[in-house]
Every structure is written in C-alpha cells, then in structure tokens.
Amino acid sequence: MSTIDNDADLRKALKQLNHEQLRETGADFVASVLHLSSDKRVAHAVDVARNSDASDDELLAAYKSARVATVDSRTRCGADCNWEEQAAHFVARASAAMVAPEGVCKAADPSWQVVMSCRMAQNCALIAADDDSINDESENQYCIMNDYLNSH
Amino acid sequence: MLINHRRVLQFSALLFLIIIAFPVFAENATSSYKPVTVPNPATDLWRAVNPQQLPPAEAAMFPGGDSQIRGVQSGILINQQGQSWRYFRMKQLLPTGGYLLAGAMLAVLLFYLIRGKVLIRDGESDKRLERYSVYERMIHWFMAFIFLFLGFSGLILLFGRSLLLPWMGPELFSILASAAKEGHNLFGPLFLLALVLMFLQFVVRNIYQKGDLTWLLKGGGIIGEHDVPSNFFNMGEKTLFWLLILVGGLIAISGVVLLFPVFEQGRDIMELSHVVHSIAAVIMLTVIIGHIYIGTIGMQGATEGMTSGYCDLNWAKDHHSWWAQRCIDEGRVLPKQQGTAVHHDNPGTGEAEK
Amino acid sequence: MSEQFDQGVAELGKQIDAKISSYFSSCVHCGLCAEACLFYTETGDPRYTPIYKLEPMKKLWRQQHTIRGKLAKALGLSKPLQEKDFADWEELVYDSCTLCGRCSMVCPVGNDITYMISKEREGFSRAGYAPEGLKGATQRALEIGSPMGVTLKTVMATLAHVEKDTGLSVPVDQQGADYMTLFSSMEVVNFPEYIESIARIFDAAGVSWTISSKAFEATNSGIQIGNSDNAAEIVGRVVTAAEELGVKYVISPECGHAYTSIRWAGPNLIGRPYRFKVIHILELLEQLKQQGRISFNGKTDEPVTFHDPCQIVRRGGVVQPQRDLLNGVAENFIEMTDHGVMNWCCGGGGGVSANERADELRAKSFDRKRRQIEETGVNTVVTACANCRMMLEDGIEENEMETTVIGLTELIADYLVTDTKDQPEVR
Amino acid sequence: MIAQLIEGPLWYFSLTVFVLGVLWRIYMILRAGVKKDLAVPRDGGGVGALRAIFSRFVPERTIRRHGKVQLIAGYMFHLGLFALLFLARPHVDFFAERITGFGWWSMPYWAFIVAAEVAFAGLIMLWLYRMLNPVTRLLSSADDYIGTVLVFLVMLSGCLALAQSVEALRLLHLLLAELMLIYFPFSNLMHAFTFAFSRGYTGATMGRKGIRA
C-alpha cells in the first residue's frame, strides 16, 4: 500500500473506511490536538469514540455535549479574539464531528470536517503563540492515517 | 296665537277634504243606512276620516282616504290608536319608568350603605390572571360607550320635556332635543353592531353550566358572606349577558323598525315598536345601573379586569374560583409587573395563534 | 451635565434631516411597528415597540422642528434632554434593536424607523452611551483593523492554511485584478471554510481576484455603534486599498452588515462615489452560475430552508440570487413563512451579538426563529452571514433543536464541479 | 354676535392658521434637507417613492394577521371621514360657496348616514384601542387624545346638526371645525399631509436599493 502524503490521497483513503473506522481514525486525529483543549466534554468524546462497545445512545450523548462545548467555546462576533480559546473551539468542533453517529452530523463530509477542524485548531494555537512556523498538522495527519492503515 | 293659527289651518284642511270626499261618502251612506234615520252629516264625516273607530264590518266600507302622498297608511287622517299610545307614553311609561330608574339608583345606594364594598377576602395578592384581551375589552367599552350615549340621549327624549324643559327653557331645550334625536338615531345602528360583536366574542363562556343555579340560590355570594364558586362568568354575569342580548336585541330591532320606515310598517307596528323599545330600554337601563355599581364602587378589584385586562388572583379566587383554579392548574398565573406572557404570539390583540 | 453629553445631543440634532422630520410628523402612534419587532413579539413588553426607542430623538425634534415644541421650550414648559434620558434609553437603542428593518416595512405611514434608530445611535455613541462590547469592537477596528483583533499576520496564517488545504494559491495585493475580496473577522476566526470555498470557486470559475494586505476587513463597527467618523475611517481603508490596486469590483463577503456598510453607506460616508463597484458574493456567484462559469455536480436531497440575513435582503436588496443558487444545489428547498424581505432577524444583528448585556434578551427573542424553523419541518438551515450563523447555532443549542446550520457559499463549494478529479463526491 | 364671529372672522382666521401652519410644517421638513445618495443605485428612487406612496395602503402580512382591529377600524374611520368631509351635501355646498367656487357630486342621504356610522364606529374603536392596548397607551401623548377628541366632536356636532333645522348646532359644528383647523398644524394630525413625504422618502431609499417597500 502506498503511503499518503497529500490531501487527495487522504480523502481517498478516508472514503474507503466505514463509519466505525472513520470514528477510530477521527479519534486519533482529535487526540493529536487534544492538548489544545481543556474541556472535559471533548476529552470524553474521544474516549467514547475509542470505545468500540459504545452504544448509539452514548455516541449521540457525547456528540451533543461536544456540540455544546463547540458553541460555548467560540468567539462571539465583535469580541476580541482569544486564539487559545479559539483553538479549543476547533478541537471541540472536530470532536463533535468525530463522535457523531452516522447521519447525525450534517457537514457535507464529517470525516473531512474532523481533519480540517484539527488543522484549524493547530493554526489557532500557532497564532496564539505568535509562532511563524508553518502549520504541519496535515503532515501529522498523513502519518496518523498511514499508521492506522498499516495496523489494520 | 300660534296654536290658534295651527288649529285654523287644521280645520281648513279638514274642511277641504270633507268637501272633496263628501259626494262619495254621501252616496254610500244613503245606500246602507235606514232611510228613516236622518244622519248628522258630521257623524259620517267623522267616520270617514277616522275609520278605525268603526266595527270591522263597517270599517270595510270606509277603506280610508286617498292622498297625494304614496306611503303606508298615508290615506289615514286620524289615527285613533295614537291616543292610547299617547296615553301609555305620558301616563304610564313616564311615571313608571321614571320611578323605576330612580328606584334602581336608590336601591343601589341603599345596598352600598348596608352591604358596603365587597372586599377581596384575603386582600390583593402579588399575582394576576389575564382576564380579557384587548379586543374583548374594546368590545365591552365600545358597547358601553354606545349604550351610555343612547341611554342619555334616549332619556333626554323621554323625560326631557318633563324634567329639562322647565329648567332649561324652550330655546336651549329645543336645541338639545333636536341634537339628542339626531344623535340617538345616528348611534342606534352602532348598538346593533356592538351587540353582534359582543355576542360573537362572549357567547361561548356565557352558556349556562352546572353550578350556576347553586350560585343563584346562594345569592351570588354578594348577599351572604361567603362566595360561591363559579366559572369564568358566574350566573349573574351570564344572565346580564343574555338580558343584553335578548332585551338589547329587542331594543335594537324595535329601534330599527322606528328608524327605517321603509319596510311597509304602519302606525300600529311603529307604536308597538315604540312601546317595546321604551319598556325594554328602561329594563336594560335598570339592569345596567346594577352592573355599573358592582363593576365599580360595589366590588374591590372588579374594574381592573376591564381596564388593564388583568385581575388579581385573590379576586378571581373569591368570585370565579373554578376559573381561578383552572388558571393555576394551567400555569397561567402571572406576576404583577410590566410585560405579558412569553410565547404570546399576539399580545397586541390577544388573539390566539392558529 | 458633561461636555460629552452636550456633544451627543448636538450630534443627535444634526442627524435630524428631512426624512426623520417627516417621519416624526407622520407618526400617529398606532403601535403597529411593535408587531413587526421580534423583541416585542417575543417578550410582550411595550417598551420594545420600535418607535418608542426613538423618544429621546423625538423630544429633540419637537423642540427644534415644531412650532409647538419651540413655543413650549421658550416658555420653559418642556425640559431639554437630560443625561437620564440617554441612560434610560441606551438599552432600548442598542440591546433591543438589531437594525433588522422589519418595522420599516410595515409602518402604515412609511417611516423608516430603522434608519432613525441608526441615526439616534450617532448621538448616543457620541455622548458615550453605548454598550461596552461595541465600544471595544470599534476601538479594535480602528486600531488593529478588525473588531475581533484579527491582524494581517493572523489572516496570512489562515490564508497559508487555506492554500495548503486547497492546493491553490490565494493572490494577495495582485495589481489590476478584477475583484478584490473582503472578509469579515468572523470568517477568519470561526469559519475559515468560507475563505477556502471562495478560493475553490474562484479557481474553478477562473475569476481574477486578490486580497489586499491593507484592507481585508469588510465589517464596520462604526456603523453598528453609530459613529459616522469611525465608519468613514474604516470604509476609507477599503476604498484606498481597492483604488490603489485598481480593481474593478470589491466583493463584500457573506456577512450582512458589511454589505450595507460598503455598498450603500460607504460612498456617503467618504463623501464621493467609488472608482470601483461593490458586489455581494452571492450576486457574484449567481452571475458566475448564469454565465456557466461554475456548475454543480448534483444536489443535496436533504430538505433545506434558508435564513435571510436582514442586511443582505431587506436592507441590502439582494433577494433572488441566494434562492437561485440554493435551488441549484438543493433538491428540496422549503421557504420559511416570512422570508425574503420580510424574514425575521436571528436576533444578533446591529451589534447586539457583540453586546453581552443583551444576551438574555437575545436568547428570548430567538424563539421567533425557533418556531419559524420548526414550522418548516426542516433540519438544515442554510444562511449567508457568519453572524447569523453563530446566532442560529447558539439558539439551536440553547433550545436543544436537531438543526444544522450551513453557509451557502460553502454548500456551493461542496457541489462545485472542478477540473481536477480529486474533488470529493458528496453524500 | 357670536354667530357672526364664527361665520366670519374666526373662519378666516382658522383657515389662515391652517394653511400657513401646514405650509410652515412642510417647509420645516424640506428645510432639514436630505443628503444626496452617492451609492450607485440599483433602481430608480422616484419609482420607489411612487410605489411606496401607494403600496403602503395595502398592509403587510404581519399587520394583516396581528393588527386586524386597527386595520379594519382605521380603514373604516378614514374612508368614512373622507366621504363625509368631501362628499356630504352641506360640505360640498360649503366648499363651493367659500373656497372653490364650484361644487361636485355629493352623496345621497342614505350614503351619508352609512359613511357617518362607519366613521364613528372606526373612530371610537381606534380611540378605545389606543387606551386599552399597552403599546399604544405607552406611545400616546396628550396630542393623540386631543386630536381624537376634536375630530370626534367635530363629527358628532356635524351629525347632530344633521337636520340643519337648528342653527345653533350648525354653528357649534363650524366652531369645532375651526378649532380643529387651528389645532391641526401643531399636532400630528399633520400626518394627513406628511404621510406622503414619509412614504416617499422611504420608498426612494428602498427603491434605490432595489427593494420593494
């Protein structure tokens, strides 16, 4: 199997996975930026997503509380933006899309939303730290995906 | 002078008619009466212009006169029945009605002195209930406005000559009477409109229910010390409603008959209508005096419902306890402060969202 | 009485033009505007009647523009405006009005009440009676260039992220491009997918576009707080940048009030017409679609409804493009009962969302939108304003509704036909 | 003496106050001026103004549903009032004699009565609504009530003088009408003229933006 090193391949690879597998990879993606969020609801969502025995109800509950965490954490219009909090917001958003039972998350492509939100979270963290380095979360995600595919 | 002048005029007109009509009547008279009797020509004349005086069979022979004016009974020159109507109005209606209305006011005053104001048993609370919507209150006050206007203008027309004329003098009173007559006629149809609007808005809540009779038997809690449970409207209010609809309806219909002489109604119907109109009006006025009393000085917290639209919770418990309980059960108790209920889609008119 | 307050009153007086004078002359206090205002319909509090929010201005108008008022003032029968008048009315003028313009549509005598309130804010803000949130936003917009404190560096970081994800280059300071694109800070902060969508759509359509490093911010807090000097300063930056780059068009982003600010208020604020045209992103997308420069691969079969941002539709005049576009990507588009120019506001426009003090009232007034959405029986709401979107999501969360909100431009980008074959096929 | 005063000097005085006052108020509006709109319009402002002047006679859906009472009562009152004011026989005669020099078609008597009934019902309901609805009660000032009461009294005295048999009532009607003319330019009865300006201004602004309002 060829290794993934660009978004096109990543998308293609994600498309091959079923919903449960997507949840597992999503959990890995979120976990890699989880340190940017201190919200327990987000961490809980990752735990639920990782638990292969989780029932649909549990998933739904985790999704809902992750969504509340998403709304709670974002910057209101016209408010001075705190980029650390904004990073946490994107982690929460990724976690919601990740843990959502099939068909619940209305984003055009929930798995891609997880990918993008994690990158945005990293981006916000870099802005917050006034760090000029390039956001390499996508490379990180290729590795995570490669690891996942290799281990399954 | 003036009176004499008018009599002269009337007499000449009569004479003129007699001369014109005489040959016709004379022929008829000769054929139907015994020749031996020499009738006083004035008798036949009197009969001819006043045929109602005759027994029916003979009246047929005097079918009434003819007139240039085409209209119902325009051929009748003298209306005998008018005399009895006049008697009723001057000798029966005026004194009886007058004493009845004065008596009602006196009774209310006495009642107030004896019973005093009916207070809210536990005093005012800090909670309130929505009792009437803006639209409902508007109909009520529309009716009140029209009723009072018609009531006062009607009373001026009825009692003015006895009570106001001596006091105001003829010049002023003639202006007032003319104005009252035009105003009474003008606002009359609006009473019918108000009646219809009121009926449509309130009829459902005024259908008699179980418990209403008990309320009546216990004197509505006004006479005794203890209030009797009732629904949104109690027996007294329901009865007032139906009196207004039925007696008020009679007033309105008879008023329309009097106001629009275009339905081929004759004098007899007009007279009857006036009798009905005046009797019903006096009854309704008497009832409304009581209504105004109990709605204002007679009872604490009664006016609020019709002004602000909200009533005190304790007032509702005292006087409409079943309704109050239902409101409590349905969570419709509100704090006493600015602002109406949330989710109220149309606070403007209080109409429910369909 | 402070000097600042006097300046505020003087400013308020200056705002009274022929329009406002005729509006006050015509008002017969019928109160029908209340029925159009969601702050009144959802609370039942008569103080939220739109025209009542103008009492201080009306008082001043009467004293300055009517015979009776002048007479009364000369005889000492009417008191001049007090600080208390402003203090008491601040909440009504800022918290309970989103400048949504619905009242202006229903007034029987045709009063543009919203226009009056926005003018009243000029006096209030000058006198210092404005909510802290808006004051801060305006301050940041003037000093940093964005009400949310988004710096050029931040934008560049976000753009780098977008470039990386899309594999497309985002042109910056491209001299002589056709279109100069603006963003709202909200899009940079909360919805970078909007920027990404723009990049992809423009690439697919072959639009010559650029972003200016000197003016990327489209929003205008000066308009919301009601300070025309600040508003002019903020608009001026965009005008200078666009004219320096020599672009033909400036694209206003989805954000509602950004559009009215730059399209309709802007030239009047700077006192001259632009040397470029302003086009709303939805208008442009519709043009591109009509010209066949973009096309869609399929439609979503999910039933959707559309929330009209007031400033785009009722105050901006962009009504049809969003409907044509949405019908292009949605099989089953269901309109809300009151839609288009008579839509109900999300509750957060006109600076209300930036005003924390108004949160409780805003949450309460969202009930109107909740009922509207529920009536359609649809679980997906599409909109075209970052602020509306946030407000909708907040309200949906608070009311525990099963509804998702999507930005229209993103939805279009999702269904965009591109030459590269690596586009995702969407559900 | 009083009669002559009402018929003569007071009539001319009140008419002068009315005409000059109304012109002054309109001048005050126009004097305040409107800045030229520099934004590139989508549509013509003139068309928008014209449309709004007429389109606002038709209420918007929200008002049709939630402002029914005021809507119906408002139309009843205004239509009735205009019929009475311009089409009642005595008024047409009065206009012909005192102002225009020519008369025009007047309503038959029955139509006059209908118009009066309709106008009274509408006015009383609007008046009651003003007092009973929390919103209008909050908004209303003494001016609103004075205007309403004056119009009511003018209409009432007019109808009481209907038979035209009592000169005193006709004079009372004229006196009240004169008082109303004097009061008019100082009050928001002015809306009878300025509504066209308001609608026009708003319609023009909206029209330029391409919004039908």
CB B282 within 8 A of CB B97: yes
Rounded Cα distance, D148 and D126, in Å: 9
- β-partners of residue C406 are C382
Instruction: Kindly list the strands in the beta sheet with C277-280, ordered across the sheet, starting from the edge strand earlier in the chain.
Output: C209-211, C179-181, C249-252, C277-280
Chains C and B touch (3+ CB pairs under 8 A): yes
Report the pLDDT averaged over residues C141-150: 86
Chains D and A touch (3+ CB pairs under 8 A): no
pLDDT at C162: 84
Count the Cβ atoms, other than its own, within 10 Å of residue D164: 11
> Is pLDDT larger for residue C33 or for residue A101?
C33
Chain D residue with Cα closest to C265: D39
CB A126 within 8 A of CB A133: yes
- Four-point Cα dihedral B121, B123, B127, B132, nearest 10: 60
Cross-chain residue pair C354–A7, CB shorter than 8 Å = no
Weakly modelled stretches of chain B, pLDDT under 50:
1-3, 21-27, 29-30, 339-354
Count the Cβ atoms, other than its own, within 10 Å of residue C41: 23
Nearest by CB to residue D67, choosing from B187, B347, B348, is B348
Cross-chain residue pair A78–C160, CB shorter than 8 Å = no
Q: Which of residues 72-131 of D touch C (CB under 8 A)?
A: 74, 130
C383: enclosing H helix or E strand: strand C380-383
Q: Is the pLDDT assigned to residue C414 strictly greater than 50?
A: yes
pLDDT at B54: 61
Rounded Cα distance, A101 and A111, in Å: 12
Distance from the C365 Cα atom to the nearest Cα atom in chain B, whole angstroms? 10
Q: What is the mean pLDDT of chain A?
A: 80
- Taking CB atoms and an 8 Å cutoff, what residues of chain D touch C67? 21, 24-25, 185-186
pLDDT at A65: 83
pLDDT at B50: 67
Cross-chain residue pair C354–A112, CB shorter than 8 Å = no
pLDDT at B32: 53
Q: Decide if D68 touches C, using CB distance below 8 A.
A: no
- Taking CB atoms and an 8 Å cutoff, what residues of chain C touch D185? 67
- Taking CB atoms and an 8 Å cutoff, what residues of chain D touch B187? 120
Task: Give D8: exposed, middle or buried? Use CB within 10 Å, 0-12, 13-18, 19+.
Answer: exposed
Check if the interface score ipTM surpasses 0.95. no
- For an interface test with B, give the residue of D64, D72, D132 to mutate (most B CBs within 10 A): D132
- For an interface test with C, give the residue of B345, B349, B353, B354 to mutate (most C CBs within 10 A): B345
Helices (H), chain B: 2-32, 41-49, 56-59, 81-87, 94-115, 134-163, 165-168, 170-202, 212-217, 235-259, 267-295, 302-307, 313-319, 321-329
- Taking CB atoms and an 8 Å cutoff, what residues of chain A touch C154? 83, 127
Touching subunits for chain A (3+ Cβ pairs under 8 A)? C
pLDDT at C401: 85
Nearest by CB to residue A120, choosing from C186, C192, C221, is C192
- Taking CB atoms and an 8 Å cutoff, what residues of chain D touch C34? 135
Q: In terms of DSSP bridges, do strands B310-312 and B127-130 run parallel, antiparallel, or are they unpaired?
A: antiparallel
Report the pLDDT averaged over residues A64-92: 82
- β-partners of residue C263 are none
Question: What is the secondary structure of C18-41 as a DSSP string?
Answer: HHHHHHHHH-----THHHH-HHHH
Tokens linked to D83: 């019929």
Chain D residue with Cα closest to B139: D125
Rounded Cα distance, D106 and A150, in Å: 97
- Four-point Cα dihedral B248, B253, B255, B258, nearest 10: -160
Q: Decide if C296 touches D, using CB distance below 8 A.
A: no
Rounded Cα distance, C304 and C334, in Å: 6
- Taking CB atoms and an 8 Å cutoff, what residues of chain D touch B145? 124, 128
Count Cβ neighbours within 10 Å for each residue of D114-131 and write b for 16 or more, e otherwise.
Answer: ebbbbbbbbbbbbbbbbb
CB C375 within 8 A of CB C337: yes
- β-partners of residue C209 are C179
Q: In terms of DSSP bridges, do strands C179-181 and B333-335 run parallel, antiparallel, or are they unpaired?
A: unpaired
Q: Which of B259, B142, B286 is nearest to B202 (CA)?
A: B142
- 3-class DSSP state of C180: strand
Rounded Cα distance, D132 and B306, in Å: 9
Q: Which of C175, C307, C187 is nearest to C258 (CA)?
A: C187
pTM of the model: 0.86
Rounded Cα distance, C414 and C427, in Å: 10
Cross-chain residue pair C353–A120, CB shorter than 8 Å = no
Q: Which of D78, D173, D69, D68 is nearest to D120 (CA)?
A: D78
Cross-chain residue pair C25–D191, CB shorter than 8 Å = yes
Cross-chain residue pair B347–C40, CB shorter than 8 Å = yes
- Taking CB atoms and an 8 Å cutoff, what residues of chain D touch C265? 39
Nearest by CB to residue A119, choosing from C133, C161, C224, is C161
Distance from the C267 Cα atom to the nearest Cα atom in chain D, whole angstroms? 5
Tokens linked to C144: 């940093």
CB C148 within 8 A of CB C138: no
Q: Decide if D158 touches C, using CB distance below 8 A.
A: no
Contacts of B267 (CB under 8 A, 6+ apart): B73, B76, B79, B81, B82
Q: Which of B302, B321, B320, B299 is nearest to B311 (CA)?
A: B302
pLDDT at A77: 76
- Taking CB atoms and an 8 Å cutoff, what residues of chain D touch B337? none
- Four-point Cα dihedral C209, C212, C217, C220, nearest 10: -100
- For an interface test with A, give the residue of C164, C200, C404 to mutate (most A CBs within 10 A): C164
Chains C, D: CB contacts under 8 A, how many? 179
Chain C residue with Cα closest to B345: C41
Count the Cβ atoms, other than its own, within 10 Å of residue D208: 22
Distance from the B348 Cα atom to the nearest Cα atom in chain C, whole angstroms? 7
Q: C-alpha angle with apex A72: A67 to A73, nearest 5 degrees?
A: 100
* C350 dihedral zone (left: phi>0; alpha: psi -120 to 50; beta): left
B311: enclosing H helix or E strand: strand B310-312
Rounded Cα distance, B316 and B119, in Å: 12
Chain C residue with Cα closest to D41: C264
Alpha carbons within 13 angstroms on the beta-carbon side of residue A58 total 12
pLDDT at B340: 46
pLDDT of chain D along its 213 residues, tens only?
788 888 889 999 999 999 999 999 999 999 988 988 899 999 888 999 999 999 999 998 888 888 899 999 999 999 999 999 999 988 999 999 988 889 899 999 889 999 999 999 999 999 999 999 999 999 999 999 999 999 999 999 998 887 667 788 889 999 999 999 999 999 989 999 999 999 999 999 999 999 987
Rounded Cα distance, C219 and C201, in Å: 22
Distance from the A47 Cα atom to the nearest Cα atom in chain C, whole angstroms? 23
Tokens linked to B50: 């006043």
pLDDT at B219: 67
Tokens linked to B275: 């009798």
Count the Cβ atoms, other than its own, within 10 Å of residue A132: 9
- Taking CB atoms and an 8 Å cutoff, what residues of chain B touch D162? 182, 186
- Taking CB atoms and an 8 Å cutoff, what residues of chain C touch B347? 40-41, 44
Nearest by CB to residue B338, choosing from C40, C41, C45, is C45
Place of tokens 């999507």: C406
- Taking CB atoms and an 8 Å cutoff, what residues of chain C touch A8? 422
- For an interface test with D, give the residue of C14, C21, C48, C77 to mutate (most D CBs within 10 A): C21
Tokens linked to B249: 């309806």
Q: Which of residues 85-144 of C touch D (CB under 8 A)?
A: 102, 104-112, 115
CB C211 within 8 A of CB C244: no
Place of tokens 């201080």: C56
Distance from the A41 Cα atom to the nearest Cα atom in chain C, whole angstroms? 15
* B339 dihedral zone (left: phi>0; alpha: psi -120 to 50; beta): left
Nearest by CB to residue A77, choosing from C158, C186, C380, is C186
Chain D residue with Cα closest to C341: D211
Residues making up chain C, counted from first to last: 427
pLDDT at B34: 56
pLDDT at B341: 40
pLDDT at C404: 86
Touching subunits for chain B (3+ Cβ pairs under 8 A)? C, D
Cross-chain residue pair B348–D66, CB shorter than 8 Å = yes
pLDDT at B40: 76
Rounded Cα distance, B250 and C305, in Å: 56
Nearest by CB to residue D136, choosing from C23, C31, C110, is C31
Q: What percent of chain C has pLDDT over 90?
A: 59
Count the Cβ atoms, other than its own, within 10 Å of residue D69: 21
Residues C327-357: tens digit of each pLDDT: 999 989 999 989 999 999 999 989 898 888 8
- For an interface test with C, give the residue of D57, D64, D139 to mutate (most C CBs within 10 A): D139
Tokens linked to D170: 């006709």
Rounded Cα distance, C24 and C9, in Å: 17
